[in-house]
Amino acid sequence: MNEDKEFLGKEPIGKLLLRLALPTVAAQLINMLYNIVDRIYIGHIPEIGAKALTGVGVCMPLILIVSAFAALVGYGGAPRASIAMGRKDNEAAEKILGNCFTVQILISVILTVVLLIWNRDFLMAFGASENTIEYGVRYMSIYALGTLFVEVTLGMNSFITAQGFAKTGMLSVLIGAVANIILDPIFIFGFDMDVQGAALATILSQAMSCIWVVWFLCGKKTTLKIRRKNIGITPKVVLPCLALGVSVFVMQASESVISVCFNSSLQKYGGDIAVGAMTILTSVMQFAMLPLQGLGQGAQPIISYNYGAGNMKRVRRTFRLLLQSSLAYSTVLWLLILLFPQGFAAMFTSDPELMIFTRTALRIYMAACVIFGIQIACQMTFNALGNAVESITVAVVRKFVLLIPLIYLMPMLLKGDQAKAVYMAEPIADVIAVMFTACLFFFRFKKTLEKENAESGGKGN
């Protein structure tokens, strides 16, 4: 691919979105394999599988926090860089890249220290029991050592995709995912390392991806390069990126807070089996969320570039196609979950009791995922347009205003099976959040495009 990025403003929208979204969706699905493959292998360890799966599941809030900080920098900086490229200002775009790279490393060092010192305290607070805490600590102590690799891979890969190198972005995660699939059984079963083997396989795989990402962004094929002169922290460059990335950070970090709330409430009403089921439900939710985010990532360079270039007609058409694609995907997944819940549960456990419990919980928890394509399409478009406040608002409303209170209210309102009442909080929050997001988007999207169109002289209205 040459350095002329005008194809983002010229090629047919459908063809362009397919070209960019397919690799990013594939990349998200592949990236999902890191944690899901770990859980699949761990859940099938003889004798200790169910307890080990629950223990590692309690680690998820910490893993999500690490990913959220990568998203804070990557999803905040990459759209800003794309908008600068649309305005033909590659120098500004490279300053954004260099500054974000520095911030990513600084965050990685801080997170590594925190996770190594306090992982046991966090895990006990997050819902681990005396039966499962040791599995969580053993996994997290090794995983923490690879924080730098996770942060740089996830955060900087956004800048590769934002330039239109979607296939390269997919290859970045494919390298690590394939390595993880190969190394997991070797370390878990071959070397008899159980959960520690899963963690070691994950960080070694992420290290391979990290080397690839940095090599590409310093090489000759990329349009935007990491240059020594841009490495540093300039507040006027970094702060707007972090402000934009806060929405995605809140969306992902709040998953950590929500995971803690779910685990503590489920431990109270359903014990270890309910917490173990939640580990599986979280994995299935990733099947919904990550491909939808991949579609949004594929659309982001098109929306951001054309917004920066003042071509509002292409921005509108891209959003419509993104919305249709997202809804189609969420509908298909919803049908599969309703029809074959036991198939999803069987991927992660061979324990009959856990499988039966998860089958019912899954249908409840994912009942509203059919409309979730609307939520993600609108939120990712807000982000692509640089609408930080609106993007933060919809993330906060769904997670903090709706879901967290409902986790504690539902078992108080429904006295029968209180564990299942906890799971009902998710679909109820989703329905209300989608209605709120759709209304906000309807009013703000048009105003944002009209404002930019007026400032750019009315191109492509």
pLDDT, position 1? 39
Distance CA 286, CA 300 (A): 20
Q: Is residue 79 part of a domain?
A: yes
pLDDT, position 445? 79
pLDDT, position 407? 94
Do 60 and 280 form a contact (C-beta atoms < 8 A)?
no
The helix (run of H) or strand (run of E) holding residue 209 is helix 194-217
What b/e string do you get for 63-78 counting C-beta neighbours within 10 Å, with b at 16 or more? bbbbbbbbbbbbbbbb
Backbone angles phi, psi at 414, to 5 degrees: -110, 105
Q: Is residue 217 part of a domain?
A: yes
Q: Is residue 460 part of a domain?
A: no
Q: Is residue 264 part of a domain?
A: yes
If we measure between CA atoms, which residue out of 75, 451, 92, 102 comes closest to residue 236? 92
Q: What is the pTM of this model?
A: 0.68
The alpha carbon of residue 38 and the mean position of all alpha carbons in its chain are separated, in whole angstroms, by: 17
Q: Is residue 461 part of a domain?
A: no
pLDDT per residue rounded down to tens, the chain (461 residues): 344 456 666 677 777 777 777 777 776 677 666 667 777 788 778 777 777 877 777 787 888 888 889 989 988 898 888 888 878 888 888 999 999 999 999 999 999 999 999 988 888 877 677 777 888 888 889 999 999 998 999 889 889 888 878 788 878 888 888 898 899 889 988 888 888 888 899 899 999 999 999 999 998 888 888 888 888 888 889 998 998 888 778 777 777 788 788 888 888 888 888 888 888 888 788 777 778 888 887 888 888 888 877 778 888 888 988 999 999 999 998 999 989 888 888 877 777 888 889 888 999 999 998 898 898 889 888 888 877 788 778 878 888 899 999 999 999 988 778 888 999 999 999 999 999 999 998 888 777 766 655 555 555 54
**What region, left, alpha or beta, does residue 222 occupy, with left being phi > 0 and alpha being psi -120 to 50 degrees?**
beta
Domain around 251: 7-455
Q: Is residue 1 part of a domain?
A: no
Number of domains in the chain: 1
Q: Is residue 356 part of a domain?
A: yes
Q: Is residue 2 part of a domain?
A: no
pLDDT, position 3? 43
